[in-house]
């Protein structure tokens, strides 16, 4: 591979730089949609808000159903994808949980996780922290060993074969009982060395974060990190963000876009350096008085530590992080420097050792330099 920086230096030193071929002339920030697309595609990335079960593509569902002797109520992949119609969080979750029925064995979870990691690595994701929902599997009689074991084996193989590092976050499903979440945590704790943290997902309505205060405390005592979803446009959303930050001391907020409606909470989050994992496909717009607010743009402008993520790509038009960033760039008029800042935010707030972080940040900086981009 040629080093583009050397070419840049050569171009600057040459008395007749225009004699150089166009591709070698200078590092220029992306100036049109095509070059922006190339810039985003090659950008070293991290992803922290992706639900592994939300990467279960329709074709894999058919393959797993066949392997497990199950029949699906759809004629083919296209018909299944046409059924992915939702208008709010509960209608989305119904489709999402129905889809998990095909995940039964350790090999199924391996295939699911490896499939995501292969796709992510192909889009220059260097590091991912992935959510999974054990309660949904435990209640179907799938052993936690199969779930965590398959995903862990896939993580190891993907690191070796594809060079992508990853870690795992166990999510409590907030619409199920607190007892069910505690059972899942207790089942998983013997495997805590395979986990990096716990999170909170699923239907927020009527399920405030304090419902799981005991669970977060227990996980923290076991050495796990803590993050939680604060979905956008939910009832009592600002109270939930406040509770997550102040009472439950969350280290990260997943989504959290409504914080732009509270200067006080924004100041608190900023002072603590709280990261926000925004998923523009699902949580990019906050609705205020019936009008949409571009949450990503406002959070960036407010100096919050925002990263951009894909959430449940198999159910969101199979748009993974590169496609999500390309769309976000257009919708939120992100500059190249802001795109670098978003990835820098991600690497800076990853739950990884300093040496690993420094390596990622150095790669990001070198990449930005080859394009003549300085992160703001």
Detail the residues annotated as belonging to a binding site for Zn(2+).
49, 51, 229, 311
Give phi and psi for 312, each to the nearest 5. -130, 70
**Exposed/middle/buried for 152, CB within 10 Å: 0-12, 13-18, 19+?**
buried
Q: Which residues, at least 6 apart from 29, have a Cβ–Cβ distance to it below 8 Å? A: 39, 336, 371, 372, 373
Of the candidate spans 118-126, 149-157, 303-311, 362-370, the one that interacts with Zn ion by CB under 5 A turns out to be 303-311
Give the span between the Cα atoms of 224 and 203, in whole angstroms: 23
Smallest distance, Zn ion to C-beta of residue 254, A: 6
Smallest distance, Zn ion to C-beta of residue 142, A: 21
Q: Which residues, at least 6 apart from 176, have a Cβ–Cβ distance to it below 8 Å? A: 135, 202
Smallest distance, Zn ion to C-beta of residue 202, A: 9
Smallest distance, Zn ion to C-beta of residue 200, A: 10
Q: What are the binding residues for substrate? A: 312
Closer residue to Zn ion, CB minimum distance, 36 or 244: 244
The residue whose two tokens read 């199950």 is 70
The residue whose two tokens read 């997550």 is 244
Closer residue to Zn ion, CB minimum distance, 311 or 338: 311
Smallest distance, Zn ion to C-beta of residue 293, A: 20
Smallest distance, Zn ion to C-beta of residue 1, A: 36
Closer residue to Zn ion, CB minimum distance, 185 or 228: 228
Helix ranges (DSSP H) in the chain: 4-13, 33-42, 58-67, 77-82, 89-99, 106-122, 134-138, 144-162, 178-188, 213-221, 237-242, 263-272, 280-283, 295-301, 321-331, 336-349, 354-370
Cα 193 to Cα 51, 145, 186, 229, 360: the distances in Å are 20, 13, 14, 23, 23
Of the candidate spans 191-199, 232-240, 309-317, 339-347, the one that interacts with Zn ion by CB under 5 A turns out to be 309-317
Closer residue to Zn ion, CB minimum distance, 4 or 49: 49
Closer residue to Zn ion, CB minimum distance, 204 or 311: 311
Q: What are the binding residues? A: 49, 51, 229, 311-312
Of the candidate spans 121-129, 151-159, 184-192, 307-315, the one that interacts with Zn ion by CB under 5 A turns out to be 307-315
Closer residue to Zn ion, CB minimum distance, 104 or 147: 147
Tell me how many residues contact Zn ion (CB under 5 A).
Answer: 1
Of 179, 171, 226, the residue nearest 204 (C-alpha): 171
Closer residue to Zn ion, CB minimum distance, 311 or 323: 311
Contact 318, 332 (CB under 8 A): no
Contact 220, 226 (CB under 8 A): yes
Give the span between the Cα atoms of 65 and 67, in whole angstroms: 5
Smallest distance, Zn ion to C-beta of residue 233, A: 14
Give the span between the Cα atoms of 176 and 274, in whole angstroms: 27
Of the candidate spans 113-121, 304-312, 314-322, 362-370, the one that interacts with Zn ion by CB under 5 A turns out to be 304-312
Smallest distance, Zn ion to C-beta of residue 311, A: 5
The residue sitting closest to Zn ion, measured at its beta carbon, is 311
Residues 98-127: x where in contact with Zn ion by CB under 5 A, - otherwise, as a string: ------------------------------
Closer residue to Zn ion, CB minimum distance, 106 or 203: 203
Chain residues in the site for Zn ion (CB under 5 A): 311
């Amino acid at each position: 591979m040629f080093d583009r920086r050397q070419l840049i230096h050569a171009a600057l030193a040459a008395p007749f730089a225009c004699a150089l071929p166009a591709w070698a002339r200078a590092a220029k920030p992306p100036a049109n949609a095509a070059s922006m697309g190339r810039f985003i595609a090659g950008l070293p990335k991290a992803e922290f808000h992706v639900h592994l079960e939300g990467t279960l593509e329709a074709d894999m569902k058919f393959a797993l159903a066949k392997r497990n002797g199950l029949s699906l109520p759809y004629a083919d992949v296209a018909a299944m994808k046409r059924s992915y119609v939702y208008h709010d969080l509960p209608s989305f979750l119904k489709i999402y949980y129905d889809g998990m029925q095909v995940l039964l064995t350790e090999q199924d979870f391996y295939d699911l996780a490896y499939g995501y990691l292969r796709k992510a690595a192909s889009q220059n994701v260097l590091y991912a922290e992935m959510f999974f929902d054990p309660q949904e599997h435990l209640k179907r009689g799938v052993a936690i060993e199969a779930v965590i074991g398959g995903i862990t084996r896939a993580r190891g193989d993907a690191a070796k074969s594809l060079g992508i590092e990853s870690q795992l976050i166990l999510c409590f499903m907030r619409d199920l009982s607190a007892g069910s979440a505690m059972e899942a945590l207790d089942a998983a704790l013997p495997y805590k060395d395979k986990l990096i943290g716990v999170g909170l997902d699923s239907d927020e309505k009527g399920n405030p974060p304090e419902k799981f205060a005991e669970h977060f405390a227990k996980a923290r005592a076991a050495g796990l990190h803590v993050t939680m979803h604060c979905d956008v446009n939910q009832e009592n959303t600002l109270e939930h963000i406040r509770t997550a930050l102040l009472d439950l001391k969350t280290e990260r907020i997943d989504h959290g876009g409504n914080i732009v409606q509270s200067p006080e909470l924004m100041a608190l989050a900023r002072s603590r350096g709280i990261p926000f994992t925004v998923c523009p496909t699902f949580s990019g717009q906050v609705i205020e008085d019936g009008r949409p607010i571009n949450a990503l743009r406002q959070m960036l402008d407010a100096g919050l530590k925002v990263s951009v993520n894909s959430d449940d790509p198999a159910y969101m038009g199979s748009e993974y992080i590169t496609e999500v960033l390309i769309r976000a760039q257009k919708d939120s008029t992100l500059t190249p420097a802001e795109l670098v800042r978003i990835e820098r935010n991600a690497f800076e707030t990853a739950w990884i050792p300093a040496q690993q972080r420094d390596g990622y940040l150095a790669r990001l900086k070198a990449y930005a330099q080859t394009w003549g981009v300085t992160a703001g």
